[in-house]
Amino acid sequence: MAALSRSTPNESPTSQADFRKLKTVCVPLLGASRLTQASITSTSKLLQELIDVLKHIPSENLTPNLISYVFLPASTILQRNPSTGIPDQVLEKILNVFGLLAESWWWTCDIKIWEQLFMVCGSVIGGIEAKSNGKGKARDDETKQAAMKCLSTLLRPRTSEEALTRFLVPAEAEDRLLELQEHTRNTRFIPIIGQTLDSVMSSASSQYLALQSASLEVTHFLIELYLPDQLIPSVLPGTVSTMTKLCLGMTRGGGWTNGEIVSRAFKVIQVVVVKALGNEVCIEHGIIRRVRDLDDLINDVNGSSQNTSSEDTNPYGTQRTESWLRGTATQVHIAMNSLTPLLSHPTPIALQTLCTFSTILIRSTSLTLPQTQPLLLSFLLSLSLSDYPSVSVLATESLAALLTIPSDEQVPLQNILMTNLGDNLSSLPRLLSTQSDARVAHAAGLINATCQLASYEDPSNKISVIAKGIANLLGPSGGIEKWGWSLLSVMEFVEPSVIITQTSGAQLSLETNPNTPLWIAFPELVFKNISSLETRDSLKRMFHSLGKAAGDSCLFAVDWFISLGCEGSSSTSVAALWCACRLLEGIAGISLFTDRAATISTKRINKRLEKHARALAKTISEIWDRLDPSLTSVDGDTLRAQDDDTMLLVQHQKGLVPLQDTLKITQASTSSSKRFKRISQPVIHRALCLQVIAVTSGIAQNRFISSFIYTLYPILHSVVSTVSFLSTTALATLNFITVSTSYASPANLLLSNFDYVLDSISRRLTRRWLDIDASKVLGVMVRLVGADIVDKAGDVVEECFDRLDEYHGYGVIVDGLIEVLAEVVKVIEMEAEVTAGNNPKSKEKRGIGPQRTSLDDFFAFLPRRFDDPIEGGTTDYGPAPRKAWGPGKPSENHDEDDPDDNRMKVETAHNNELPPTPIQALTMQIISRSINFLTHNSPVIRARILNLLASSVPVLPESALLPSIHPAWPFIINRLGDPETFVVSAAAGLIEALSKNVGDFMFRKVWDDVWPKFRLMLRELEGGEKSSALMRSNKGGIGPESAYTHSHRLYRSLLRTMTFSLKGVHEHEPSYWEVLVSFRRFLAGHVHEELQQCAADLYIQAAEINPDAVWLALVSTSSLTNPIMSFMMKPEWQIGRNTDIVFENMK
Amino acid sequence: MTDAPPAPTPLHLLRSHSAPISTLALSPDNERIYSADATGLVVVTNTRTLRALAAWNAHTDSILGIEEWHTFVITHGRDNKLHVWRRIEELPAAARIGGSAALPSLPVPALCYSMDVNALNFCRFGLLPLSPPNDGEAEAAPTALFALPNLVDSSTADVWTLPARTRLHAAIGQDDKAPRAAANPGARNTTGIIMALHLFQRPGGALRLLTAYEDGSVALREYTRGDAPSVEGAGWAALWAVRLHGESVMAMRVARAGDFALTVSADHIVGRYNLADDAPADGQHGVIMRTKHAGNGAVALRDDGRVCAVGGWDGRARLYSTKTLKPLGTLKYHKTACQCLEFARQAPGASAPEEGSGRAEVDEDDDEEMSAAEVEERTRWLVTGSKDSRVAIWSLLSFDK
């Protein structure tokens, strides 16, 4: 009061101004205090004005006098009118005015007035004033809310700062509160406060959010501050159940409750539980005892019945006893348990409150609610994984604080945490087998959270107890054999949908794009028991964080998994590999499934781990040294598995689950694991092996390079796999390794380490151990690396041939090996193109052919043609001077007995020529050894060999090539009569290449052997086309429509061969004319463009030799120039356009 | 052989050469493989990365012998030169940049000194290091003796010192030439030229020289005089000479313990010579042991002397027990003659004195790249070199019972 009187003079000017403002409203309001239908509006308006004025006056400026002045008219309205006569809006405004007044009146008002206001508000909220007049009409929510606000202002404790702004001593706030509390705790007031609490809580379930919120606040104040201690146990059940319902949204029937409401409700529960059965209260009442030292134990015995005679009991109160505690604790536990769904509440504020709620309850009810502690802890753990950083940080910090700050709870909590971890781990198999995704995710999440806690940065380092615990769990004494088996037995992967492709997509992308590596993701595996992605991810995260928390100590677990994984390719092994892989990722802090930036671990990798990783990589790589998994896994595992006849069916059932079956699951887990062994999953097994290799590379990083010697081959072996899942995994692995070992691109990596790959390949092409895929790998490597590898691969090629000789009967093997050889030759070709400059294979010897017939002779002869007739008439050009191909001749005498010797001989024979490069030597070897396969019974191989020869022709010097071709010539020629068109076309291709490159050598061969065959073929084909219905539809009846038919290719080869023959080989007069005549039809307009083009080229080439003959042939085909030539007439071919082209190009 | 598992494929193949491999050697610590070919190219291969550390043309002709000696490498070529090179020092694993299959430039070791020698008879030098690595640390430079065929007469041998390059003993074996020449007039030397020699020291300290000849005989001589130098073979007493082979000896190897020697030749005989007893009874100096395969060009002995490998002209390497010559297995990979083979050291010692001190502490944990198991596995390697210009590395069983 002294303070108040002191403040009045100072504030008088403003008070006066405020008074004047209030006066203008209060005077008419007092006048209109009697409400009639007519005055309601004006009164309401006045009240509104009053509210506005009051709102503009800072609450500390409201002196008691002013308050009384304002209170009078407002209260008069209530007094003068019956409750029914006051409409809701007027009452609402009056209550608002009271609320505004109470803000400052709280400090000074008479306790009676406070009580009156409290009761007015309480009655409005509870609808008592409405009931009292019999009408039963409850006030609307807005009015109730105004009452609630007013009540809240009345109940709200003030801070000492607020006291200071009112120039009061800071302790005044507390003193006043105590005064009020004292008043409310007298027996007369207790029913009122109980009644109010009840009505406040019932209005908390209102649909009106503001009212809900305000009523929860008031509930909180009431319970925390005003309710007598004995009463709290009585209100506990009701409060908790109301709040739980409210939080869960049961009152509204579905959907999440508003976050703020949840938050406030949690605060209420927290307060009521702590106040009802907190440690302190219960110790005070003697129902529990805290045992801190031995003395406590002694006291325990002595004073067990000390506190039973409690003080005077309140009529409404509930006595706290041990049995009460037991019963209540169970009830509370059930209520808490029902709150679990709120962990996934979408608003952070609710979660934050849940977090504080759990923390505080753990702290204050550790002794009274022991069975609830794990639950609360699991709340905190789950929350620490929340997506909201505000929540997760808060939860983690609370957990850390709980576990590190020494207190009663610290040690038990740590124990609980570890038990929790163990329980969750061992419950995973059961949950997995019942396909309860959500529960799996929850359990995994809890484990995850515990592990993350272990790696929490903590200055005092006390939390390392947990890390040690986890390390222990995964270490040698952790009993991984117990939980590991059952976990593996239920983890099963779905076999990826197998797409068999001829060449793997991975292989193609590796080759076509050697310089720009894209980030290639590992294809994901799908669990059989888990349907959702989130659950799978949570399992993955669980292993990651287990690995991270345990660190090096879990290498034991990794080893255990790996050793299982290496046993076979059963589904158990597959699961074991998966676990090992994830654990390793965790230890190293890397993940295969994040994108590129995150792959390189920044964590310091210790030497032990690194060494271990490399050893693992080696062990895993050795799996590829075994025989084909699809073959081996059949006998061992299956036979063993068939022995046990206890068939246990783990199945997913919907609806009612027969109890005895579910119980059996745990009983017979060992036999169930055996059952799963039967399923062999070689593809997934291999893919997971690759993943392990990738992870180890991520661990060892740059030092992984020394492991390339073992690991590259397995990866490449899988890259060429025809199963796309495997090849993609392999490519991703290669990519990952490239990144972790800091190579620029996978191609770069392979380039730098091709020697290791070559080494592995060559070992797998031996007689003892022939791996068909090795040849594919070699093919890829040859394509990628090019000349470098070919230089060194001579012996591998030799091996290929040795195997070819041995296994020539097996098409697959031959095919694979020949493919490699073709690749080698391709590389050689490219190499030859590069070095073409210094290899002058130009045709200086052009003039050496047989003399071209000159018409001069003819013209000289013409006048004298009747003088002396020449017998015969045909000129025999047959025995052409052998000099022409003389230089090639000596080499032909060598028969190719040994490639090495051959090379030496060639070297000595042609001292003027450069000695063959290793590449050339290799090609020679390829040619000489592959010629035998020209008569292989598989047409594909025959064609391939011919193509191989054709592509090697441009590469080799004549001296090296011709000795091989010469003895093989009859075989090549015979291929032209092959029943398979593509072989014929390949043979023609070879002849084309030969004509182009070694024309001199080919002269006799072309005109004596090839052309007659060609002529025959042309005729046959022509005849065939005439009889073919498909071809006949085409008017001219010439040439197929599609460029993708063998006959098209054959025609093209024929045309090209003859073009090159005309160009490179000297013409042979009689045949020359035949050629001109035979190929005319390809100039026809209907023929495929490409063939027309080829034919035109042929005629242009022919025109260089004898333009007159070409002119004659073409002109007489299209138009009748001379009756003698009429047999040539084929106007329907319409070769006019092409004729023009040919003539244009004639010189 | 029936009990043994099927013969393995080579563990690795080295493709560094493009000419027939003529000789091979492993460093005492098993870290490096030295291979040399007929063109004079020497390649040093790291046994961990299996990549070349150095490759250089040491000689202009085929190389007869190569051996690591402390920090040096001695090469002996048919171009009548003997070179001593400073060994290439590898960088520690940590300092190495990522390896590559095709390094642009490999270092060439520095040539310390060379000398002109007689290389007419394909016989490689026999080295006797005088300062064992264990106590050699205090000494400034290691010294060694080595034996070579005589500069003039290829049927006698000289002993030289290193690094002084002075001749200590000359024309060993000349003294017993006279009676033979008398018994068989016209022939210059009945034994023919020296095909292989081995210089070693008796436990007492006396120098001994074991020589194998063109005619298939093997002779052991001991230097009985205390002083040096000697000339004309004076002071070298022939202890025994025995002829077991009908053809000339192609290769000879003395067990590391020095208690016996083995020779192979074009025939199917393996000669075993007793060096343990000082004076065994007559006829017990050498024993003929017959194999089923004729035409052997190389022989190697494992460190413990219990297993030998014989390289055949058919390209196979055959393993035998040395005591009974029981066949232990055949390694088949090379297509042409297996011209040289070498076992890895079973108890890898320090390669050089300066490393010797640190070796004791270097245990498993500090060895960054290889685990103990891998190091152990490496001691069971056999390296073969062949005319087909490839070096094959085999991993053998321990053959322990």
Average pLDDT over residues A274-302: 74
Nearest C-alpha in A relative to B15 = A792
DSSP letter for A37, please.
Answer: T
Residue B382: predicted pLDDT: 92
Token pair of A394, please?
A: 């808060």
Q: Is the pLDDT of residue B36 over 90?
A: yes
Which residues in B lie closer than 8 A to residue A615 (C-beta atoms)?
A: 371
Q: Which residue from A706, A762, A918 is facing B49, i.e. has the nearest CB?
A: A706
Instruction: Report the predicted TM-score, pTM, of the whole model to 2 decimal places.
Output: 0.72
Shortest CA gap B358–chain A (Å)? 20
| Mutation choice for B interface testing from A702, A706, A901 by most B CBs within 10 A | A706
List chain B residues with CB under 8 Å of A617: none
Q: How confident is the model at residue A642 (pLDDT cuts 50, 70, 90)?
A: very low
Q: Report chain A residues whose CB lies below 8 A from the CB of B315.
A: none
Residue A159 scores a pLDDT above 60: yes
Task: Give B13's contacts in chain A (Cβ within 8 Å).
Answer: 759, 762-763, 795
pLDDT tens, residue by residue, A403-455: 777 777 777 788 888 888 888 888 888 888 887 788 888 888 888 888 877 77
Taking an 8 Å cut-off on Cβ atoms, the answer to whether A753 and B390 are in contact is no
CA distance A924 to chain B (A): 17
Tokens 């230890």 -> residue:
A587
Least confident of A372-386, A703-717, B272-286, B316-330: B272-286
Across the interface, whether the CB atoms of A792 and B51 are under 8 A apart is answered no
Minimal CA separation from B100 to chain A, in Å: 4
Q: Answer left, alpha or beta for residue B30, where phi above 0 means left and psi between -120 and 50 means alpha.
A: left
Long-range contacts of A1084-1087 (CB under 8 A, 24+ apart): A1084/A1036, A1084/A1038, A1084/A1039, A1084/A1133, A1084/A1134, A1084/A1135, A1085/A1036, A1085/A1133, A1085/A1134, A1085/A1135, A1085/A1137, A1085/A1138, A1086/A1034, A1086/A1035, A1086/A1036, A1086/A1038, A1086/A1039, A1086/A1134, A1087/A1036, A1087/A1038, A1087/A1039
Range name among A587-591, A762-766, A881-885, B193-197 with the lowest pLDDT average: A881-885
Between these two residues, A13 and A751, which has the higher pLDDT value? A751
| Per-residue pLDDT at A836 | 55
Give the model's pLDDT for residue B140. 59
CA pair distance A204, A217, nearest whole angstrom = 9
For chains A and B, CB pairs below 8 A equal 63
pLDDT digits over B300-315, tens only? 999 888 899 999 999 8
What is the model's pLDDT at position B383?
A: 93
Helix (H, G, I), strand (E, B) or coil at B76: strand
CB contact under 8 A, A607 and B98: no
> From CA B188, how far away is CA B180, in angstroms rounded?
9
Give the angle subtended at the CA of B376 by the CAs of B371 and B379, to the nearest 5°. Answer: 135
| The residue count for chain A | 1147
Residues A607, B333: C-beta atoms closer than 8 Å:
no
Whether the upstream peptide bond of residue B163 has omega within 30° of 0, thus cis, is yes
A204 near A241, Cβ under 8 Å?
no
Average pLDDT over residues A100-106: 80
Q: Read off the pLDDT of each residue in A30-39 and give the average, rounded to a whole number.
A: 77
Pairwise CA distance, residues A1055 & A1046, whole Å: 14
What are the residues of chain B with a beta carbon less than 8 Å away from any beta carbon of chain A?
A: 6-7, 9-13, 15, 18, 48-51, 93, 98-102, 333, 335, 365, 368-369, 371, 388, 390
Q: What is the pLDDT of residue B367?
A: 55
Lowest mean pLDDT among A103-107, A850-854, B259-263: A850-854
Does pLDDT of A185 surpass 60?
A: yes
Give the pLDDT of residue A568: 80
| pLDDT higher at B357 or A85 | A85
Give dist(CA A222, CA A157) in Å, integer: 11
Identify the bridge partners of residue B33 per DSSP, sorted by sequence position: B26, B45
Q: Do A762 and B365 touch (CB under 8 A)?
A: no
User: Which residue on chain B is closest to A788 by alpha carbon?
Assistant: B102
Q: Give the pLDDT of residue A677.
A: 45
Query: Is the pLDDT reported for residue A368 higher than 80?
Result: yes
Mean pLDDT of all residues belonging to chain B: 80
Look over chain A and give the mean of its residue pLDDT values, rounded to a whole number. Answer: 75
Q: Which residue of B has its CA nearest to A762?
A: B13
Tell me which of A643 and A484 has the higher pLDDT.
A484
Q: Which of A365-374, A510-519, A627-636, A960-969 has the highest mean pLDDT?
A: A365-374
* Two tokens, residue A357: 């709620």
CA gyration radius for chain A? 49
Contact across the interface for B371 and A743, Cβ inside 8 Å: no
Between B297 and B347, the more confident residue is B297
Arithmetic mean of pLDDT, B155-168: 87
Interface contact flag, B100 A752, Cβ < 8 Å: yes
List CB contacts (< 8 A) between A921 and chain B.
none
Residues of chain B in contact with residue A743, where contact means CB-CB under 8 angstroms, are 98
The least confident of A349-363, A704-718, A869-883 is: A869-883
Question: Residue A849: its pLDDT value, please?
Answer: 44
Q: What's CA A916's distance to the chain center, in Å?
A: 52
* Closest chain B CA to residue A742: B98
pLDDT of A648 strictly over 70? no
Question: In this predicted structure, which of A565-574, A832-841, B85-94, B207-216 has the lowest mean pLDDT?
Answer: A832-841
Across the interface, which of A741, A762, A795 has its CB nearest the CB of B98? A741
C-alpha span between B362 and B367 (Å, rounded): 7
B64 close to B77: Cβ distance less than 8 angstroms: yes
- Residues in chain A within 8 Å Cβ distance of B387: none
Domains and CATH numbers, chain B: 12-32+118-395 (2.130.10)
Q: Which of B51, B371, B390 sits opposite A615 (nearest CB)?
A: B371
Instruction: For residue A801, give how far its alpha carbon lies from the nearest alpha carbon of chain B (Å).
Output: 13
Give the pLDDT confidence score for residue A315 in this predicted structure: 64
For residues A221 and A148, give the distance between their C-alpha atoms in angstroms, rounded to a whole number.
Answer: 12
Residue in B7, B11, B102 nearest the CB of A788: B102
Q: Using CA atoms, how far apart are residues B2 and A760, in angstroms rounded to an integer?
A: 28
Nearest-Cα residue of chain A relative to residue B104: A752
Average pLDDT of B365-371? 58
Convert the pLDDT of each residue in A1035-1085 to its tens digit: 444 555 666 776 777 788 788 888 877 776 666 667 788 888 888 878 877
Query: Above 90 in pLDDT, residue B35?
Result: yes
Contact A611 B368 (CB under 8 A): yes
Higher pLDDT, B79 or A852: B79
pLDDT, residue A659, reads: 53
What is the reported pLDDT for A671?
41
Q: Given a cut of 60, is residue A307 above it in pLDDT?
A: no
Predicted confidence (pLDDT) per residue in A768-823, tens digit: 777 777 888 888 887 777 777 777 777 777 777 777 777 777 777 777 777 777 77
CB contact under 8 A, A611 and B371: yes
pLDDT tier at A461 (50, 70, 90 boundaries)? low
- Residues paired with residue B318 on neighbouring β-strands, in sequence order: B310, B330
- The structure tokens listed for A91 are 């009452």
Residue B280 has pLDDT above 70, yes or no: no
Q: Which residues contact A637 (CB under 8 A, 6 or more apart)?
A: A568, A570, A677, A678, A680
pLDDT value of residue A537: 85
Amino acid at A527: F
Residue where the block lists tokens 């409850």? A138
* Contact check, Cβ <8 Å, B9/A769: yes
* Whether the predicted pLDDT of A883 surpasses 70: no
Based on its alpha-carbon atoms, the radius of gyration of chain B, rounded to whole angstroms, reads 21
Q: What share of chain A is helix, strand, coil (3-state, %, to 5)?
A: 75, 0, 25
Q: If pLDDT is split at 50, 70 and 90, which confidence band does B76 have?
A: very high
Flag whether pLDDT at A5 surpasses 80: no
- Closest to B98 (Cβ–Cβ): which among A705, A709, A769? A705
Cβ–Cβ gap A703/B368 under 8 Å: yes
Assess: ipTM above 0.85. Answer: no
Q: How far is CA B293 from each of CA B262, B289, B296, B315, B358, rounded to the nearest angstrom? A: 16, 12, 8, 12, 46
pLDDT at A665: 46
Q: What is the pLDDT of residues A546-581, one digit of tens each?
A: 888 887 788 888 888 888 888 887 888 888 888 888
Residue A488 has pLDDT above 60, yes or no: yes
Alpha helices in A59-170 (DSSP H): 64-80, 88-108, 111-126, 128-132, 141-155, 160-165
Contacts of B18 in chain A (CB under 8 A): 918
Does the structure show a pLDDT above 80 at A660? no
Contacts of B371 in chain A (CB under 8 A): 611, 615
Nearest to A709 among B13, B50, B102 (CB): B50
Distance between CA atoms of residues A667 and A1119, nearest Å = 98
Angle at A11 between CA A5 and CA A15, to 5 degrees: 105
Per-residue H/E/C for A855-922:
HHHHHHHHHHCCCCCCCCCCCCCCCCCHHHHHHHHHHHHCCCCCHHHHHHHHHHHCCCCCCCCHHHHH
For residue B34, pLDDT over 90 is answered with yes
Q: Kindly tell me if the per-residue pLDDT of A672 is higher than 80.
A: no
Chain A residues within 8 A (CB-CB) of chain B? Answer: 607-608, 611, 615, 702-703, 705-706, 709, 741-743, 751-756, 758-759, 762-763, 766, 768-769, 788, 792, 795, 798, 918
pLDDT tens-digit readout, A506-542: 666 666 555 555 667 788 888 887 778 888 888 888 8
**Burial, A859: exposed, middle or buried (Cβ in 10 Å; 0-12, 13-18, 19+)?**
exposed
The proportion of chain A whose per-residue pLDDT surpasses 70, expressed as a percent, equals: 78
Q: Is the pLDDT of residue A481 over 60?
A: yes
| Per-residue confidence (pLDDT) for residue A859, from 0 to 100 | 76
CA distance B24 to B12: 15
